[in-house]
Structure 1
Amino acid sequence: MGRLVMWNLMSLDGFVEGPNRDISWHEDVWGEELEQLSIAQLHEAGGLLFGRITYELMAGYWPKERGEIADFMNTVPKHVFSRTLARADWTNTQLFTGDVGATVARLKREIAKDIFLFGSADLAASLIAEGLIDEFRIAINPLLLGGGTPLFKLGTRLKLKLTDARPLSNGVVIIRYTLAQ
């Protein structure tokens, strides 16, 4: 049975996107350490999970890129949840429009490796509410955006347990949490 891992780059003030959906600040900290971490995570992944907006960003970027990460992104099974997309044409992508919780629970049972959820703050909120995220893996960027899309859109408290914290030379800190028992 696979686990669902939320993996995101977040500003120190809690945003996954800046104003007007700006993610250009991600490039400020991309480098060898994050690339090596990403490559290591490829071996853990049996699939990717996206909401519509993140899917459209990724599908618009990765097909024209080259390299180990691009090859992975373009071949790994991708699962997209949307109420408005009519189709998802990126290679190896399956579109779902129905019950998110039941579908993700089924995917977790069927996929042996971890499933990574990128971006997709609205989708993440619904999955958090249903207790379906097994690990929160966040790269905190030492940057204050002052506005944008918050990573967490919860209506309640949620207690987490720190399982790992690792600083990188560029000031990013990778934190990993699971649900507290």
Structure 2
Amino acid sequence: MRTIRTATFVSLDGVIQAPGGPEEDPSGGFRFGGWTFPFFDEKLGLLMDQAMGEDYDLLLGRRTYEIFAAHWPSRDDEIARQFNAVNKYVAAGPDTPLEWANSHRLEGDLAEAVRALKATEGRDLLIQGSSEVIHALLAADLIDTLTVLTFPVILGQGKRLFDGHARPGAWTLVRTDHASTGAVVSTYERHGEVQVGSFA
């Protein structure tokens, strides 16, 4: 069985939209595309590499797939070589061409398709971007590990990591570190049901 994990850029107020550049996703009038750029330093790059790991296939939504497919095939660096070589499992309808090498369309209900994929033998499934995929899989309790790269900025608008439909559950912090710019990288693993109590 595969493990499903994320490596997600998020603002202090939970926004994950268009972290990489102004043209990435301006939908909804979002005007802060590229908001992570000022906070990257060498250490954060190393922490990002750790968060992504080395042995994975990609699990992507349509918009993230289109952004990646337009960018990575023409690059020749370590991340590009990894992304170009691995399998890409894509939540996209038949109108979206999957021309990037090793791309596979997920058919039917997304949660059920991912549940079936997760049950197979193979590499971890790493979600990058893909907010709608994250929302659907959190609601179906299919994500095993969340790595959240939190940046010290409040954006006030935009697509958020949690959409109010995630299945309740407890998570355990297994690793955390930070860069000199104030970005914090924390990894959580699924840890059973929500426990409650009272201070009364």
- What range is the shorter-chain TM-score in? 0.7 to 0.9
Contact 1:44–1:114 at 8 Å: present in 2 too?
A: no
Structure 2 gap ranges (5+): 19-24, 193-200
Q: TM-score, normalised by structure 1?
A: 0.88
Q: 1:94 and 1:157, CA in 2 relative to 1: closer, same or farther beyond 3 A?
A: closer
The alpha carbon displacement at 1:34 in A equals: 3.1
Contact 2:44–2:183 at 8 Å: present in 1 too?
A: no
SS of residue matched to 1:83? coil
The residue number in structure 1 matching 2:198 is none
Q: Which has the higher contact order (CA 8 A, sep 6+)?
A: 1
Structure 1 or 2: larger strand share?
Answer: 1
Of 160, 169, 190, which residue of structure 2 is paired with 1:179? 190
The residue number in structure 1 matching 2:195 is none
User: 1:118, 1:17 → 2: CA distance?
Assistant: 12
The alpha carbon displacement at 1:41 in A equals: 4.9
Of 60, 66, 87, which residue of structure 2 is paired with 1:56? 66
User: 1:10, 1:80 → 2: CA distance?
Assistant: 22
Indicate whether 1:20 and 2:26 are aligned.
yes
Contact 1:46–1:114 at 8 Å: present in 2 too?
A: yes
Q: TM-score, normalised by structure 2?
A: 0.80
Matches within 5 A, 1:82-93: 82-83=92-93, 85-93=95-103
User: 1:81, 1:15 → 2: CA distance?
Assistant: 21
Matches within 5 A, 1:143-158: 143-155=153-165, 158=168
Structure 1 gap ranges (5+): none
The residue number in structure 2 matching 1:6 is 6
User: 2:172, 2:106 → 1: CA distance?
Assistant: 32
Contact 1:42–1:72 at 8 Å: present in 2 too?
A: no
| Letter matched to residue 178 of structure 2 | P
Amino-acid identity (%)? 29
The alpha carbon displacement at 1:42 in A equals: 5.4
Of 105, 108, 122, which residue of structure 1 is paired with 2:115? 105
RMSD across aligned C-alpha pairs, in angstroms?
2.2
Question: For structure 1, which segment, 131-140 or 12-21, has the greater mean C-alpha deviation from structure 2 after superposition?
Answer: 12-21
Structure 1 or 2: larger helix share?
Answer: 1
The alpha carbon displacement at 1:115 in A equals: 0.9
User: 1:68, 1:8 → 2: CA distance?
Assistant: 19
Contact 1:80–1:93 at 8 Å: present in 2 too?
A: yes
User: 1:156, 1:8 → 2: CA distance?
Assistant: 16
User: 2:143, 2:167 → 1: CA distance?
Assistant: 15
Q: Deviations over 1:28-74 (max 9, x none)?
A: 22332233234445554320101111111111221222211111111
Larger radius of gyration: 2
Tell me the matched-pair count: 181
